[in-house]
Every structure is written in C-alpha cells, then in structure tokens.
Chain A
C-alpha cells in the first residue's frame, strides 16, 4: 500500500517539475519578466545590505546650513535652486534637514519593502484563512463573510485607510493596519472561489473518505493546489501596497517628519516643489521603479499561469 502511494507521489512530483520547468521557460521568453525579476532581486538584495553600506545614524544627523541644496552638474533644475558649495558631492541633493537625499532613499528602500512585505503577507494570510473557511463551511458563515467583504469593497478609494490612520494615531503599526484594511478583501474572494472549485474534486472526496479532517484537507491539500493564483495576486498587490502606504505618509500621517520613508521624503518636497523639485522627484521615482518591478513579475506570472492564455 505504502509503496503504491509513494509511486503515485513520485509521478505527480515529476509532472509538477516538468510543469514548473515549462513555466520557467515561458517566463524566460518574456524579456520584461526577466527585467522585472532582476530589478526586484536588486531591490531585495539592496534592502538586505543597505544598513551595512549606509550608516543609519545619518537619518538623525541634521545640518540645517545645507538644507534644500543641489550640486550635481548633470541636471539643471532652473533658476531658484540653491547650490551647495561644500566639499561633499550630493548626487541627488539634500532634503530639508540637510541630509544627503541619495543616502536617505537608500535607507528608505528597506523600510518600505519590509513594511509592504508584512502588509501583503498579513492581508493575504487573513484573507486566505477567512476565504478558505467560508468556502469550505459554506452556509450562514459563508454568507456573513461575503457580506462583510461587500462592505469593505464599497468603501470609496482611500477613505477607510485615511480615517483609520487619522483616528488611531501615527505609529507605523497603525498605518500598516490601515493599509491592510484596504487590501485583504480580494484574497477572501480569491481563496473562497478556489476552495469552492477544488472542494468538488475527486481527491477531496477521497481524502474525506480516508477520514482527513477539514483543516488537513484545506491547508495541506487545497491550499497547495491553489497557491499560484494567490502568489500572483500577492506579487501584483505588493506594488500597490507600497503606493498606498507611501500615500498615507505623503498626506502627513508619518510618525516623525524626519523618518526616512519614501512617501515621507516626498512629502517634505511637496512644500518646496519649485525650489527643490528633486526632493519630490527622486523618492517618487524610486517608488515607481520598485512597484513596476514587482508588477512586471506579477503580470508575467499571471499570463503564464492563466490556463486561458497558456499554450
């Protein structure tokens, strides 16, 4: 008995490996996915080593004599821009506290990436749990969960996150919860749909006949079988989460105005847009590149894994 089941497992594994190989081949064929993955990888490595390259204490070293200064001759921002004549080269100018903007962005990238990772994983976990149970149990509980997600889907734009952030004070944790509130509902629907379609399949029937409990069926069998769409959704959401979080920071919910966070750095620039345009430009551009990298990967993955588009 045991050997047979192992044999089946092995055949399944080989099929899965072949499938994975084919997926990787399709992904490699798309230059944009390759570019996106390389960019994403670069940002991940950067955020792991950033505080070794750049001293984090620089974020608290203020020098008001050189605030809003520029001395990179490659870009001319026009008149009205103050030039820094000191010894240091500042590739991206300085911010209001006289800190080197390039170094601040380098310190901000890990923070943003880390926060977005926690929010994405958090909202996915929450949504998956709720959606899986709702889809499996069905009935009243399912109805209640669906109605609750309806409520969250009906909130216009950012208003829920803004209200939550405004009421619960300005700590990073509260802001993360505010963003999470906006991003969890799609996972409930996604996971619920997956469970509903998998639930009827023969292997679940067989598992039930063998006496497997609902949690074992859900999280050992159904979840691994429906993990790809969820991973794609997470990759695609990752960029959006960074945008939402930095938008809250930009609108002024930052716990400290000197915090090196991309939205917060840009927020300093918005009051000085004509005298120091770089202060808005570069942090925002960094957000665009990070989000684009993950969206490219997610979009390519979705195309490749979508059975309707896959050849």
Chain B
C-alpha cells in the first residue's frame, strides 16, 4: 500500500469513527429525560403554542430518536450546532466551544512541555541506571504520577501553594481561573491564548499573570502523563542499549557519553517522539478534571458543566472536535513514525 492510499483509508475510517462517537453521545444525551431541552433556545416567551410546535417540527424534535439524529446531522452540515443550556447563557454551542478552546490548548501545550521536560530525563536516567537506586526513584515518581487522582492532586496543590503559602506569608500562586479577574478584558483578544495575547499586546503584566495561572493546572495534568512517558522511554532505551551496534560503538572505544547521546538516544526516542503527539491529544481530553478543579474556563470544564445539565448540543461539539483531533493526531503520529524509522512500511 502506498502512503497516500493509507492516509485516504484512515481518513475514511475517521468519518466512520465520528459517526459512531456522535451517535453514542446523541443517543445517550437525547434518549433520556434530563432538564435540558435542545429546542429551548429557539423559543421566545412571546411565541404562541402553535409557533412553538412549528419550531419543534422544523428541527425534528418530535420525531423518534434515530430520525432526530439525521435532523441533527442535517443541521450540522448547514453549520447549525444548536444552542447550549443555561449554564452558558444559551449561546450557540460551537461559539461557546471555540471561545473556550484556546484555554484548553494553552493548558495542554504547557502540560505536554512539562511532560517531556520531566518524563524524558526520568526515563533516560531510569534506563542508564537500570535496577539501581536512580531507577527505583524514577520508577516511584512515574508510578505515583499515574496512581494519583488528578482532582485530589489539583486540590492539594491549591491547598499548599495558594492557601498555606499565603498563610505563611510566602509568595503564592493563584488557585483558579485563567487570569486575575481585574485584568479580564483589558487587552484585545487575538488568538485567545492568554499568554500569547498578553505578549502581543505587549502587556507583560497580563502575560505573567496568565503564566502564573497556568502553573498549577498544567502540573496537575502533566503529573499523570509524565509517568507514562518515562516508562516508555525507559523500555525503549533498554532495548536499544542491548543491541549490537551499541556494543560495537563501545568496543570501538567511544566514550560512554557519546555512545549514549549520539548513538542510543536517537533511536530510543522514536517511540517517545510519536507518543508526544498522542499525549497532546489525550491531554486535550484529559484536561477536564484539571480545568474543573482550577475553575479554568476551558472546554473541559464546560463539558463537566454540560454533563450535569445533559446538554447534548455542547457535548456533541466537544466530543466530535476532540475525537477528530485524536484520530488525526494518531494518523500523523503513524506517518511521522514511517519517516523516523525507515524499517517500518505500510
């Protein structure tokens, strides 16, 4: 199979996956009575009962569930994503999503950077000193990372770095939101990424404030994934170190440093590089609890709020966009893998 054939095949499969994801969310959200009425936003208090019936009929809300799904699909292709519940002031679901999305992207980027910055060295150290004390310590850190409930870790960080640090009179980190409330709206919104916007408006105070707000949530988020990365790097590093060309390099009399950094690390990092893409996509979805705990106005927090109201419109936008990102990231990762590792062919 040629590479472009492979890509086309995967993209066709992606359409199928998106249908599946939307059908499951649609069925779960619309199939059960919740407080949320998807047609509520179309209705004005001054409308007559007849007009209301008309609205419900046009959008197919009176049809059986499986037919409603096709009405919904039709609306989607017309660019109508429906309206959110009262938790987001009945604004259009796609607008709510894309207004909030940059905050989640910012958080996931920061968490990905932290994951690499901590997880990678941990894994390398672990492999080089395999089954010795540094390996044990790094293993404990890695495993504690993914044994820790992120809601708990987030609150403990808040408790220590916000509450206790301020009690002890130390400089403390902000505990909630994306920027301090007094700064909200002081700069024009260009990209939606708070730090970048602050820098673009050359408002250093804003950018710094946004950065401080990012530290605790991104660390909460990264703490889970850095363990996974460390374990992957360790395993692949150990495997590479055992190969003949490494023995060869050593027997040539190369210094251990050069053997490791020039020869071993390059090959050992291939799985790690590709995993980073998958982590980023996963962190976008995993940001839910971290955002909820730190009251960060991203899409993950919105999804938790939407779940409590059974807001199918927002949840559909959320799961469809993120599923698209996850599937496309996986595809890109697979393609990059071919370029990084010439042994692999599709």
A163, B307: Cα distance in complex, Å: 6
Q: Enumerate chain B residues within 8 angstroms of A86, measured Cβ to Cβ.
A: none
- The answer to whether B17 and A147 have CB atoms under 8 Å apart is yes
- The answer to whether A154 and B24 have CB atoms under 8 Å apart is no
Q: Would you call A280 an interface residue if the criterion is a C-beta within 8 Å of the partner chain's C-beta atoms?
A: yes
- The answer to whether A164 and B28 have CB atoms under 8 Å apart is yes
Interface size bucket, B side? 35 or more
Q: Would you call A116 an interface residue if the criterion is a C-beta within 8 Å of the partner chain's C-beta atoms?
A: no
Partner of A154, one of B32, B152, B288, B323: B323
- The answer to whether A151 and B155 have CB atoms under 8 Å apart is no
- The answer to whether A150 and B164 have CB atoms under 8 Å apart is no
Q: Enumerate chain A residues within 8 angstroms of B303, measured Cβ to Cβ.
A: 159, 162
Residues of chain A in range 235-271 having any CB-CB distance to chain B below 8 Å: 239-240, 243, 246-247, 250-252, 263, 266, 270
Partner of A273, one of B13, B29, B158: B158
- The answer to whether A166 and B156 have CB atoms under 8 Å apart is no
- The answer to whether A247 and B151 have CB atoms under 8 Å apart is yes
Q: Would you call B274 an interface residue if the criterion is a C-beta within 8 Å of the partner chain's C-beta atoms?
A: no
Partner of B238, one of A155, A273, A288, A309: A309
Q: Would you call B246 an interface residue if the criterion is a C-beta within 8 Å of the partner chain's C-beta atoms?
A: no
Q: Would you call A32 an interface residue if the criterion is a C-beta within 8 Å of the partner chain's C-beta atoms?
A: yes
Q: Would you call A156 an interface residue if the criterion is a C-beta within 8 Å of the partner chain's C-beta atoms?
A: yes
A246, B150: Cα distance in complex, Å: 11
- The answer to whether B323 and A284 have CB atoms under 8 Å apart is no
Q: Mark A281-297, 1 if CB is under 8 A from B, else 0.
A: 10011011001100110
Interface of chain B: mostly helix, strand, loop or mixed? helix
Most buried by A among B16, B24, B327: B24
With CB as the reference atom, state the residue of chain A lying closest to B299: A156
Q: Looking at the assembled complex, report how far the CB atom of A99 sits from the nearest CB atom of chain B, in whole angstroms.
A: 20
- The answer to whether A156 and B284 have CB atoms under 8 Å apart is yes
- The answer to whether B16 and A155 have CB atoms under 8 Å apart is no
Q: Mark A161-201, 1 if CB is under 8 A from B, else 0.
A: 01110111000000000000000000000000000000000
Are A296 and B149 also in contact (CB < 8 A) when A154-B17, A154-B326 are? no
A57, B1: Cα distance in complex, Å: 65
Q: Mark B273-300, 1 if CB is under 8 A from A, else 0.
A: 0000000001011111100100000001
Q: Enumerate chain B residues within 8 angstroms of A252, measured Cβ to Cβ.
A: 308
A288, B341: Cα distance in complex, Å: 37
- The answer to whether B235 and A163 have CB atoms under 8 Å apart is no
Partner of A163, one of B28, B139, B163: B28
- The answer to whether A159 and B318 have CB atoms under 8 Å apart is yes
Q: Mark A143-160, 1 if CB is under 8 A from B, else 0.
A: 000011011011111111
With CB as the reference atom, state the residue of chain B lying closest to A306: B235
Q: Would you call B34 an interface residue if the criterion is a C-beta within 8 Å of the partner chain's C-beta atoms?
A: yes
A166, B306: Cα distance in complex, Å: 10
Size of interface on A: residues with Cβ below 8 Å to B: 52
Are A159 and B288 also in contact (CB < 8 A) when A31-B136, A78-B167, A246-B149 are? yes
Q: Would you call A140 an interface residue if the criterion is a C-beta within 8 Å of the partner chain's C-beta atoms?
A: no
A44, B143: Cα distance in complex, Å: 20
A252, B305: Cα distance in complex, Å: 12
With CB as the reference atom, state the residue of chain A lying closest to B300: A157
Q: Enumerate chain A residues within 8 angstroms of B164, measured Cβ to Cβ.
A: 78
Partner of A284, one of B156, B163, B235, B288: B156
A32, B140: Cα distance in complex, Å: 8
Q: Would you call B231 an interface residue if the criterion is a C-beta within 8 Å of the partner chain's C-beta atoms?
A: yes
- The answer to whether A158 and B34 have CB atoms under 8 Å apart is no
Q: Looking at the assembled complex, report how far the CB atom of A11 sits from the nearest CB atom of chain B, in whole angstroms.
A: 30
Q: Enumerate chain A residues within 8 angstroms of B28, measured Cβ to Cβ.
A: 163-164, 167
Q: Would you call B89 an interface residue if the criterion is a C-beta within 8 Å of the partner chain's C-beta atoms?
A: no
Are A273 and B159 also in contact (CB < 8 A) when A150-B13, A155-B21 are? yes
Are A270 and B155 also in contact (CB < 8 A) when A147-B16, A156-B319, A167-B28 are? yes
Q: Enumerate chain A residues within 8 angstroms of B188, measured Cβ to Cβ.
A: none
With CB as the reference atom, state the residue of chain B lying closest to A161: B307
Q: Would you call B239 an interface residue if the criterion is a C-beta within 8 Å of the partner chain's C-beta atoms?
A: yes
Q: Looking at the assembled complex, report how far the CB atom of A210 sits from the nearest CB atom of chain B, in whole angstroms.
A: 37
- The answer to whether A151 and B136 have CB atoms under 8 Å apart is no
Q: Mark B26-44, 1 if CB is under 8 A from A, else 0.
A: 0011011010000000000
- The answer to whether B24 and A156 have CB atoms under 8 Å apart is no
- The answer to whether A157 and B24 have CB atoms under 8 Å apart is no
A277, B159: Cα distance in complex, Å: 8
Are A250 and B32 also in contact (CB < 8 A) when A29-B131, A32-B140, A159-B315 are? no
With CB as the reference atom, state the residue of chain A lying closest to B140: A32
- The answer to whether B17 and A247 have CB atoms under 8 Å apart is no
Q: Enumerate chain B residues within 8 angstroms of A30, measured Cβ to Cβ.
A: 131
Q: Would you call B202 an interface residue if the criterion is a C-beta within 8 Å of the partner chain's C-beta atoms?
A: no
- The answer to whether A154 and B155 have CB atoms under 8 Å apart is no
Q: Mark B4-18, 1 if CB is under 8 A from A, else 0.
A: 000000000100111
A167, B238: Cα distance in complex, Å: 46
Q: Enumerate chain B residues within 8 angstroms of A151, measured Cβ to Cβ.
A: 16-17, 20-21, 24
Q: Enumerate chain B residues within 8 angstroms of A159, measured Cβ to Cβ.
A: 25, 285, 288, 303, 307, 315, 318-319, 322
A299, B163: Cα distance in complex, Å: 36
- The answer to whether B32 and A160 have CB atoms under 8 Å apart is no
A–B pairs, 17, beta carbons within 8 Å:
A79-B167, A147-B16, A147-B17, A151-B16, A153-B326, A156-B285, A158-B288, A160-B24, A163-B307, A167-B28, A239-B147, A250-B151, A251-B304, A266-B152, A284-B149, A296-B143, A309-B239
In the A-B complex, the 6 residue pairs with the closest CB atoms: A156-B285, A284-B152, A157-B285, A151-B20, A291-B147, A156-B322
Besides A157-B287, A167-B34, A291-B147, 13 other CB < 8 A contacts? A32-B136, A32-B140, A151-B24, A156-B285, A159-B285, A164-B28, A167-B29, A251-B289, A252-B308, A280-B159, A288-B147, A288-B149, A299-B143
Residues of B within 8 A of A (CB): 13, 16-18, 20-21, 24-25, 28-29, 31-32, 34, 131, 136, 139-140, 143-144, 146-153, 155-156, 158-159, 163-164, 167, 231, 235, 238-239, 282, 284-289, 292, 300, 303-304, 307-308, 310, 315, 318-319, 322-323, 326-327
